[in-house]
Structure 1
Amino acid sequence: MFRDKTPEAREVARLHKRIARLKALARIYKRAEVTQNALLAISNLAASVTSQEEFYGVVYDSIDTLVPTDNFFIATLNSKTNKIEIPFFADEKDAHPHDLYPNETLSDTLASGLTGYVFRTGESLLCDNTKYQKLLDNNEVVSLGSDCHQWLGVPIKNNGIITGVIVVQSYDKNINYGDIDLELMNFISQHISTVTEHLQHQEQLEQAISKRTKELSIAYEKLKQEVSERRRAENLQKTLFEIADLATSNIDNSQFYAEIHNVISRLLAANNCFIALLNEQHTGLSFPFYVSQFNSPAPKPRPLQDGLTEFIIQHQKPRLFHKNDIDELISSLSVYTQAPELNNTRQIHQWIGIPLFIQGKVIGALTIYSFNANQNYHESDLELLTFVSQHIATAIERKLSAESLKASHEQLEEKVAQRTQALALLNQNLEKEITQRKQIEYQLQHDAKHDNLTNLPNRAMFMEQLSQAIKHLRRHPQDKFALLFIDMDRFKLLNDTLGHLEGDRFLIETAKRLKKCIRVNDNLARLGGDEFVILLDCINHDQDAIEVAERVLKALARPYQLTQKMFYSSASIGIALSSSQGTDTSESILRNADAAMYQAKSDGKGCYVVFQQQSYQQVNNIQLEKELRQAISNNELQISYLPILNLTTQTLIAFEPRLFWLHPQLGKIKQVQINNIAQQCNLHIELDKYTLNQLNVDFAHLQAYCTHSVQIHLSLSSQHLKHKHALRSLKNQLKKCQFNLEQLYLFFNERAFAQDNNIHINAFESLAQLQVKLGIYDYGSVNGAINSLTFLPISVLKLDPSYCTHLESGSYFKLAKAYFLAAQALGLTLNATGITHSDQIDKLKEIGITIGQGQPLGQVLVLPKTAALDCA
């Protein structure tokens, strides 16, 4: 029988058991601490690792401290080739798979073993000999490598996709793997996946950065090239401007060529440079410019020989020669055969020769060369210098022309001292012309749209501005604009008397005055001759256009200072207002303003007329001609009588009848307008007969206004004198008049007389037999011969109205005085017409003219309408 243990023995036994358990727990905690440190090292490394090989080595060292590993390797799947690779391998028995299977594809071999099984299943595999044999029997794997005790493989997954397998093996039967080892391996596989993804992203980022860096580098190089090319282009442009400026500069030859050299030096190295020019006979060369880095003296003028310069001039092509090229020319006897003393090319490294052309002909050559092998010229330099040489040749041409002119001026100055001032002025004008040639190049577009004389917009530009105004009006119908068509009165007479130069000065001064009459946003243009137009933009009322027209008339009525004399002028203005209905075109509104301007001229000039559509019909309109014929037939035309007075006594002497027509739609149509219609439809003779018939009725009433025998001054058409039957008809009508024909003065136009004086002389002699008085009106409007008047049985001359308008001008005053003296010498009376203010009366009295007619001399007389008797 066993003897029971004592209490002391039982307590000792219990303490031994507790100590054993404590030692076991200490071992477990110690292993847990080691495991935790290893896993922390792996985690920390996963965040900072830069390569997978580095990470795999640390993983292997860490696993080796936690799990006994006789064999450890990592298999990965290459995403590009879809092949299995072994980036890390450590084994105690087997060599690397590359060495074990040299004749087989490593990927296919691994795919057939346990590694491939984990790839296919995607699950962790803890395999001993029993399970391994089962897999072999089921043909799921094939036997690879040495036999092991246990095999543990864990898949590496990235976003659910297997990218690799981590494997450990044990060959020792005392080493067994459990769930803790499996869990540890899964944890490590996750870190391997994270590191793999991190490294892939890092690699992609580095590739993207590298690619972007390369693109930026290429773009930067392109930008540098563009900037360089642009700077070079700007430098070239600046160079050309400087060359052009040199051509017009007033500097001597040495400074001129030195400046040319400075310009070339900024484009390329030109330490050695010279310019050679042919003489006028093209038989010799001179060297107006020469510079050498060795301070060699400039070559003296020489006859043409066979040097390199002559070679360039002869072949007329730019050339870049290297030392061997020059040697070949010398060897081939192309240069320096006739004049070997000219050969100074032994030290030359490169030589550029550019022929200089003026008007297609070679006048010389530009040459640069280098002695230093480090200073190289290229084909691009040759092209650049060739381009610049064209402008240099032009500059030289202008310089030579200026020098030639200067030399000619000096020679003439020596021979003809009294013409020094004229020649100097001519020289200045030529210099200005040379300078202006450059300015013209920049103003081609400006000149195409502006008047050369006044610098105002011309017709083409104004029509564009008018078209834009009409387009604006169509978009904004509430706006309004006006067009003023301005025609200077008697401009042709100014050109004929004072000359075209003074006429141009007159137009320039007129343009200046017109500019001061308009706003900044208004447009002023010259259409041609003495015609100007003003486009008044955005006016509020029609009255605005009228105010501008009145301002223009006032400005143009001021005297002009021409040829050191005062000249008076006036203008006729037609005003056309825009329509809110959008029917205007640039042509129609200009035509309307033009028509209104002609109406203003017909109304006596020096005024404005606003275009009214219903008031302006074409004078050749069939309906208007028909209405005029009917008005004559129905005795609807009326006569107003303009008084003619003695300027000294203010006594009434005569009346001048003038027709007017009260049209039911067009209103009052004056004599000038009626004459325009009559000219188109050949009604002048009928109008004159109508006037004579009405005079038979009105004569007795007219006589009552005068204390003595009143005179009637009647202007007739020269159509009465051109045919015998027309003259006979006029004489018959005069014979039937019921008043004394000695009181009747018949006047004919001077222009018609000048065109055919023979007919007028014969007809005047025939009419004089009826005791009527004869005269010429608009006298002085043409350059007729005074002696032709001696053949006419006339007694009175009526001076053209323009002379009264311009009496303030000394030339007009003298001309009117000459006409008066000529008439006085011929025993004729000279009457003034077109008097507009009292100052003119004093001037006329000063000349000696005592009879005149015009607005200040009394109101026009209109008698009650009475049916006329037909005297035909």
Structure 2
Amino acid sequence: MVDKKSQESGLKEATQLNKRLQLAENKIRRLTLLTKRYKQAYITQGALLKLSELASTISDMRDFYPAIHKMVSELLHAENFYVVFYDSDSEHYSPQYFSDEKDQQLIAQVPSGAFSSGLTGYVARTGQALLCDREQFSQLVLQGHIQQQGSASDHWLGIPLCRGTQVIGVMAIQSYNAKQLYTDSDLALFSSIGGHTISALDRVKSRELLEDTVRQRTQQLQKINQSLQKEIKERTNAEQLQAALYRISELTASSRDMNSFYKAVHVVLSELMPAENCYIALLDQDRTKLTFPFYLDQYSPPARERPISRGFTEYVIRCADARLINSASAQQLVEAGEIRRGMADPMRPALHSTSWLGAPLLIDQQVIGVIALQSYEQSYSYGEVELNILRFVSQHIAVAIQRKLGTEQQKRHQEELERKVFESTRELRQTNLFLRLQVEERKKAEQKLFYEANHDALTGLANRQMFLQQLKQQFALSKRQPQLSMALLFIDLDRFKLINDSLGHHVGDAFLIEVSKRLQSTVREHDLVARLGGDEFVVLLTSLLHDTDAEDVAERIIDKVRQPFLLQGQQVHSGASIGIAYFDSDHSKAEALLRDADAAMYQAKSMGRNRFVIFNETMREQMLQALTMEQVMQQALEQQQFTAVYEPVLCGQARSLMGYEVHTQWQHPQLGTQYDFNKYATEAGLMPQIEQLMLHQACRQLAISSDDTGLLTVRLSIQHVQQAELFEVLKRQIATVQHKHRLCLAFTEREVLQTTSTAQASLQQLKQTGVRLALHNFAADAAPVGLLLQQLFDFVKLDAAFCRQLPRNEQKRQLLQMLQSLALSYKFRLLADGVDNADLLNLLLAEGCCFMQGKYVAGLLSAQELANTPSVVFQQLA
């Protein structure tokens, strides 16, 4: 019994022990599994952290994929690794990175479409990760899902790269070693890395794009800064050059002693360039010898007078232009026989210069000498900038020499003139009496002609011409002295046409004569009564004491005209409609006052005649109440109301006609002739179209003109070269002109200064077509010399206000002298505007400026000269 109990007890204990052992084994297995999971999570977390670090530190995509490859290789067997992007819309595959021990050299020859039929395309289409061995690969090939591509691998692991739910690529690793196979844990780790690769990729691309944008912007800013520095340097040099030219111009005007002038010029030159070695050579009267009034050299004594030979100086004289000669070009000239070295002193060979600069001294296009600089240092050579500066200096020296010679010649002429005057005084006394008689007779004839030209032949009143002249003079006086009140009465007679048609012209003439007498009886002696034509009369009232004086005169006129007329035995009745316009400081022209009085007169006629109406602004507004100013301008353009007016340009030295400048006038049916409308046309955006119309008329005028030399200038706004469409229209219009050299296109200084490089290129294209270019209103604001140095303009038209100040402003005359020197050097012509008197014309001619415009210029041209230009009709501007 005891044994049986013991057995049962031992069996029970063994059973309990087995249960405890099984529980312990289960716990160990769970702990082992958890340990593997924690280890896998640790590895995955470390990979993700490293991937995030890569995305934060790498900014170039070329470094990103190798870094991903290296990171994956540290965790998995990944010697063979590649990334391919996939576009689902176009089904296009693009390899981004490929590293393979067998197919590395073949990837460049594999088309991108080959990936679609392989394992890569299979993963991209299914959107699922794939762990594939040789057996699974064969099954997929047999089932037609894939095709054999490249070298066969023993194990292949690929995962889709997704942005949201869309597959954008595939990342894969493969093994060619059967002992190195991938597991499910490898698949999970690779999938985790792939899931975060797209985010890291986007971050790297964003950083790469940002850094590239910053790099490009930095380069742009560097270029802009270089351009600004260059512009600042150019402007600084231009200012220094201009200041030097002013100083040389002052020396030209003030120096009496030529030696001191030469020394002072040398000091100015030394501030602009190295001038340790400088000399001036002059030709004698026979032009067979050279003299050296100024000679400064580091290695040679002053040069002596010598005959003309084959030196550098003589070479410049023969060329009549500035020359820059270095050692190489000097050797070429020697070989060509143009020069021989050592001409300074043949008896004493001198050190040869390494860089030589010379410019001719010109008077009336004839060379009288040379100014030269030279350097003996190999480290310094003169350039084009110094060559241009020397050109300017040579012109001023030539002007100084010309002035000195002119002064001496003038003194001799003065002495000769005094002798001749003394000898001819007796002859003048004898003829003086006879001349007086002729002058008196001529004065009487001129007075008669003046009266007939300025008075109405029927009534004896002032005619339209004289009235407009007096109106302009009084208008200008009132502008200067606003306290002098002035008014204009415009009178239209009632029933005149009926009287003239029913009773005959002789009764009509008698009626107008009687009306003129009654009108004169109603005004003061200094007031002006004029007949404009037909039955229209005007009365100009000046120095009015009260505002109602003009109204009192109008009432007297109406009362006088209302009284019956007894003409050749017949009683005639009439009346008068009168418009009154008072002078206002807002009136820009005298014609505006006449226009306002005319408008008020029509208002009086419309209100029942035999009355007067005072003009107010609402009357002008009523004329245009149905149209805005833009509509008026548009309508004027459609109806061809704009016509060309030609202002002559004079060559002052020859007193001959050089050409014409085209101006625009507006012939409005109600407002009359208008000139000041540019503001409204510009605001309406119609100025380019009006200018195109004027250019068309000018081109048509050139086509029908028999003269092939006269110049026709048309002013254009800068929009024509800034806007592509307008520029194409302009080029097509120019292409129709046969003699393009006769057409000159003018642009204002202010607009050209505001142009861009594109507009400058367009101006250069216009110049290449053969037309001339002109710069208008130069010196109106800043007088930028830089515009002239571009050699873009054939003519530079000086501003009228600048020209009118020349006689009393020494600084502006010096600027004119400098501009004349620039014109000779850079081959453009100066044209002066606003020449209204003989003194200004003579001053301009003395300074060498021979092309000019203005009222006085137009008067110098005879009617025959204007008539010799067929198809061009000159009309004096108002």
Larger radius of gyration: 1
Instruction: State the TM-score, normalized to the length of structure 1.
Output: 0.44
